[in-house]
């Protein structure tokens, strides 16, 4: 009864809101997403889109709207808005006091104010028409969604609905999902929001949401032009002040927040970006004050700001989220430290196996129930004793072949089908040569000689013939790592070399490792040391070879994590996201194309700066470069990163792994036919490019539209000048539709396929850490023999297995990294996979709907093609005894750690 009286009171107090119908006859346009639209003749497609798209839609009316159409000649008509809001744990209805107040005001219908904005100017004044407003009142709560309803009286000359202004008068923020307006003659009109709406008490500024209709800047309806520009200005901010959690401001800053010198002088780190020494992409500005002890460093207090709409959904928060990683870092790691010594090695290989069998018993005071909730795969409760066990799931590599990690064949195969298939490159000149200064780092020429190579390939051909036939490939970490060798060696519990690993391509399209060169540069007290290791013909050489491979695997792990993964996906992408939100309106078709590929990236990057790549974080304590890890990432950016080489064909060609071939399916011919990563990646690349081409040519049928698009040009200019200002080369022009397709395909590929290839196999390949140790803690036992120190070598000769175990990560390092890799390899239940679901705005255009259906169909076909390849016994790099099939680029996956699935965005 009370609710009925309140509703009656609300209805009686609501004054009618005049609004006008369009005063011209409807014509064909995008119309209702529920009905088809006949395609325009080709001759009309080059006309300006505000002409050819049309917005007057008498013929596009749903079956329930006959009465509204019949009343179109009347002065006004009623429009009903249905608004969906998701209740949130941390927002609306979270606090009992504010929950009670908000429930009362919801009953009164005074919590959510909507204002309708016309797309037309007032013909009399030449200014924006007055908005029409009404409060939405709560009508239903079902399946974790709250529905609100608002009613408007609209007059015929109001024009098309172009945008909605929203004011949230709840005491807390809410998550506004969508709005649908029924009763409009050309409707229904959909407005997709998926956004956090700040409380009016936090910020008086109204939120703006445009309808799902997309417009290029030149086609913006007159009534929306000012609003379009104003919203972009709001998102840019003024570059001052410390950002607040509810804000949506996008701005740039350097990586000056990795160190924590106020806590410990040893945690001071150099600023990355803005200088010649350490160039780097930019990250989102937070505006926190500088530290007390170093004015160039930003203080690290509280959570790291990201624009509010970049935050994880609550499903993702509960399944992965910052919460999960923080729990591992701040709860699990200390729990492990109470039962594992920091420097203690595994005494036997059987003790490594026990991690997957018996597990690690956490201390009695540990809240195992808590860990069981956040790490259900890893933490097992033993009910009989009340103990809580950290027991790891065996990765597929270990499950299929327990000894695969020891084999040269597997060591080589993983350069093509592992978690870092982006480092192997063709040898184009011999001997291998360094580009470092010889007077500082020693002779430029490698010690891997012609004689060594020809001996190891059994004389099947000469080195010259191998070069000519393109049979030699290399993992070359010599120049990248050599300048850091002595710096890293000065740290406790680790060591480092510069390394080169040479491979020979067999007739079966597999690689065979033939030589590893490890180098230590000269120092003030020691001359340069360098040695070449081969597979060996006696026990000692064979064991030294195993140790050399362990060092190379650690180098590859560090390069993978810092450059192939973090830099090339997370770090390089953040400027694209910031620039897009600052320069591309939410109604811009290119913004709507890119948006699903940007979701959650800034949030996961902020988490990484907080706890993974920061001073003293997981990367520094667990990977070979230690405290110099992010410096090394900067060197990789300086020496190796270029935008034009981030496209898949550009990357393959730059490494000599493919050649341009216009007759080939994807325009390139692979030098190694059975290159699982590249074979599958090219399928996805082609599918993405076809989709982007269809989408771009729909909105830009003529090159001149690309060149004249002010927002698009500002976005690309800002990516280069503000997002990547330290990088002057490798940027393509943006003047044609072809340019735009290549740029967008590259960004989408890196956000989806590239990231999936380097991320979701981390536990599969690194979960058994002897396969991919993250650090090498002991130098080669024969390094100091020439200097007269034979002690290490003699210990190695007596017990070579112990030398290998001492080289591997410590118990604490290994279990910590394994826990993190398990979390980071996980798909959340709300994962959004490539080509799986069309964005709501895309559904407004029938031609885009058709293009997306083709995209979805091609992507599903790729699933079957990859399955077929993995079943093909002729493809020895992905099929055979004990071989883990290559599934990292299979597009779809169920939740969990699956070793497959290509999400739209970098969300973990």
Which residues are catalytic, by number? 565, 570, 755, 759, 908
Map residue 445 onto helix, strand or coil. Answer: strand
DSSP, res 751:
I
Three-state helix/strand/coil letters over 290-325: ECCCCCCCECCCCCCCCCHHHCCCHHHHHHCHHHHH
- Closest to 250 measured CA to CA, from 274, 225, 229, 233: 233
Q: Which letter does DSSP use for residue 127 in this model?
A: S
Phi and psi for 209 in degrees, rounded to 5? Answer: -130, 120
Phi, psi of 481 (to 5 degrees): -95, -25
d(CA 675, CA 671): 9
793: Cβ contacts below 8 Å, ≥ 6 apart = 781, 782, 784, 785
Residue by residue, DSSP assigns 548-606 as HHHHHHHHHHHHIIIIIIIIIIIIHHHHHHHHHHHHS-TTSHHHHHHGGGTTTHHHHHH
Q: What does the alpha-carbon distance between residue 257 and residue 298 come to, in Å, rounded to a whole number?
A: 5
Compute CA distances 513 → 390, 456, 574, whole Å.
Answer: 36, 9, 37
Cα four-point dihedral sign 387, 390, 396, 401 = negative
Preceding peptide of 431 cis, ω within 30°: yes
What are 668's strand-pairing partners? Answer: 660
Backbone torsions φ then ψ of 692, nearest 5 degrees: -65, -40
Distances 255 to 182, 279, 578, 728, 907 between C-alpha atoms, Å: 48, 10, 15, 19, 20
* Contact (CB, 8 A) for 191 and 213: no
CA gap 633, 194 in Å, rounded:
35
Q: What is the rounded CA–CA span in Å between residue 698 and residue 30?
A: 13
Q: What is the DSSP string of 831-854?
A: --BTTTS--GGGGG-HHHHHHHHH
- What distance in Å separates the CA atoms of residue 740 and residue 732, rounded to the nearest whole number? 9
| Strand ranges inside 124-282, DSSP E | 132-142, 145-155, 161-168, 174-182, 189-197, 207-210, 252-253
- Please say whether the beta carbons of 485 and 644 come within 8 A: no
Q: Is 760 in contact with 898 (CB distance < 8 Å)?
A: yes
Give yes or no for a cis peptide into 45 (omega within 30° of 0). Answer: no
């Amino acid at each position: 009864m009370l609710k009925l009286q309140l509703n009656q009171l609300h209805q009686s107090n609501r004054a009618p809101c005049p609004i006008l119908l369009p005063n011209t006859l409807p014509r064909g346009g995008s119309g209702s997403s529920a009905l088809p639209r006949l395609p325009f003749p080709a001759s009309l497609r080059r006309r300006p889109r505000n002409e050819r798209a049309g917005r007057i839609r008498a013929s596009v009316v749903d079956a329930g709207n006959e009465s509204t159409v019949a009343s179109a000649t009347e002065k006004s008509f009623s429009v009903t808005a249905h608004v969906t809001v998701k209740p949130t744990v941390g927002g609306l209805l979270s606090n009992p006091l504010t929950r009670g107040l908000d429930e009362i005001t919801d009953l009164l219908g005074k919590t959510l104010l909507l204002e309708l904005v016309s797309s037309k100017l007032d013909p009399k004044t030449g200014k924006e028409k007055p908005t029409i407003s009404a409060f939405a009142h709560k009508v239903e709560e079902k399946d974790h969604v709250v529905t609100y309803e608002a009613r408007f009286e609209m007059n015929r000359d109001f024009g098309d609905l172009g945008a909605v202004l929203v004011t949230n008068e709840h005491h807390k923020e809410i998550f506004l999902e969508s709005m649908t307006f029924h009763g409009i003659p050309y409707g229904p009109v959909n407005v997709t929001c998926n956004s956090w709406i700040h409380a009016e008490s936090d910020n008086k500024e109204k939120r703006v949401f445009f309808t799902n209709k997309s417009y290029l800047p030149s086609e913006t309806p007159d009534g929306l032009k000012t609003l379009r520009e104003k919203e972009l200005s709001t998102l840019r901010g003024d570059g001052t002040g410390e950002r607040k959690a509810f804000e949506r401001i996008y701005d740039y800053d350097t990586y000056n927040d990795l160190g924590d010198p106020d806590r410990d002088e040893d945690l001071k780190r150099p600023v990355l970006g803005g200088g010649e020494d350490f160039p780097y992409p930019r990250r989102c500005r937070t505006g926190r004050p500088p530290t007390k002890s170093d004015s160039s460093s930003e203080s690290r207090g509280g959570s790291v700001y990201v624009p509010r709409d970049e935050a994880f959904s609550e499903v993702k928060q509960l399944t992965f989220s910052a919460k999960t990683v923080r729990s591992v870092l701040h709860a699990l790691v200390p729990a492990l430290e109470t039962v594992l010594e920091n420097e203690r090695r595994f005494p036997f290989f059987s003790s490594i196996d026990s991690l997957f069998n018996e597990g690690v018993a956490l201390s009695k005071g540990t809240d195992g129930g808590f860990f069981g909730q956040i790490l259900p795969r890893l933490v097992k409760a033993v009910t009989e004793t009340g103990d809580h066990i950290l027991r790891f799931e065996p990765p597929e590599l270990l499950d299929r072949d327990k000894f695969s990690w020891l084999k040269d064949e597997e060591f080589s195969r993983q350069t093509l089908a592992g978690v870092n298939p982006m480092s192997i490159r063709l040898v184009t000149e011999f001997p291998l040569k360094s580009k470092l200064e010889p007077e500082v780092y020693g002779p430029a020429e490698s010690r891997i000689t012609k004689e060594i190579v020809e001996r190891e390939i059994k004389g099947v051909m000469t080195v010259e013939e191998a070069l000519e036939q393109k049979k030699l490939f290399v993992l070359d970490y010599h120049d990248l790592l050599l300048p850091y060798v002595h710096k890293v060696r000065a740290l406790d519990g680790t060591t480092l070399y510069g390394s080169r690993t040479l491979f020979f391509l067999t007739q079966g399209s597999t690689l065979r490792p033939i030589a590893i060169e490890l180098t230590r540069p000269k120092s003030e007290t020691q001359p340069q040391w360098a040695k070449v290791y081969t597979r060996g013909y006696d026990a000692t050489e064979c064991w030294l070879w195993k140790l050399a491979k362990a060092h190379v695997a650690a180098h590859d792990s560090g390069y993978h994590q810092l450059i192939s993964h973090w830099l090339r996906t997370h770090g390089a992408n953040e400027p694209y996201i910031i620039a897009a939100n600052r320069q591309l309106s939410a109604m811009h078709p290119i913004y709507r194309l890119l948006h699903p590929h940007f979701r959650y990236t800034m949030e996961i990057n902020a988490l990484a700066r907080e706890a993974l790549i920061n001073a003293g974080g997981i990367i520094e304590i667990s990977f070979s470069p230690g405290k110099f890890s992010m410096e090394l990432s900067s060197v990789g950016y300086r020496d190796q990163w270029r935008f034009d080489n981030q496209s898949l064909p550009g990357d393959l060609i730059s490494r000599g792994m493919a050649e341009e071939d216009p007759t080939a399916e994807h325009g390139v011919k692979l030098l190694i036919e059975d290159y699982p990563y590249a074979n599958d990646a090219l399928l996805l690349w082609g599918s993405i490019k076809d989709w982007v081409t269809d989408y771009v040519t729909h909105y830009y049928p003529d090159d001149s539209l690309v060149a004249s698009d002010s927002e698009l040009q500002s976005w690309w200019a800002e990516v280069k000048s503000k997002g990547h200002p330290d990088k002057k080369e490798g940027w393509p022009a943006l003047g044609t539709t072809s340019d735009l397709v290549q740029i967008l395909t590259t960004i989408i590929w890196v956000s989806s396929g590239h990231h999936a290839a380097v991320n979701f196999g981390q536990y599969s390949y690194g979960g058994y850490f002897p396969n991919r140790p993250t650090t090498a803690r002991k130098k080669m036992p024969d390094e100091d023999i020439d200097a007269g120190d034979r002690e290490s070598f003699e210990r190695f000769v007596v017990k070579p297995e112990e030398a290998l175990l001492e080289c591997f990560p410590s118990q604490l390092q290994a279990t910590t990294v394994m826990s993190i890799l398990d979390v980071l390899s996980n798909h959340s239940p709300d994962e959004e996979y490539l080509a799986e679901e069309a964005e709501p705005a895309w559904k407004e255009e029938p031609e885009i709907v058709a293009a997306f259906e083709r995209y979805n169909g091609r992507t599903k076909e790729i699933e079957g093609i990859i399955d077929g390849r993995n079943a093909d016994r002729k493809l020895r790099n992905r099929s055979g005894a004990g071989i883990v099939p290559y599934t990292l680029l299979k597009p779809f996956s169920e939740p969990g750690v699956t070793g497959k699935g290509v999400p739209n965005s970098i969300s973990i």
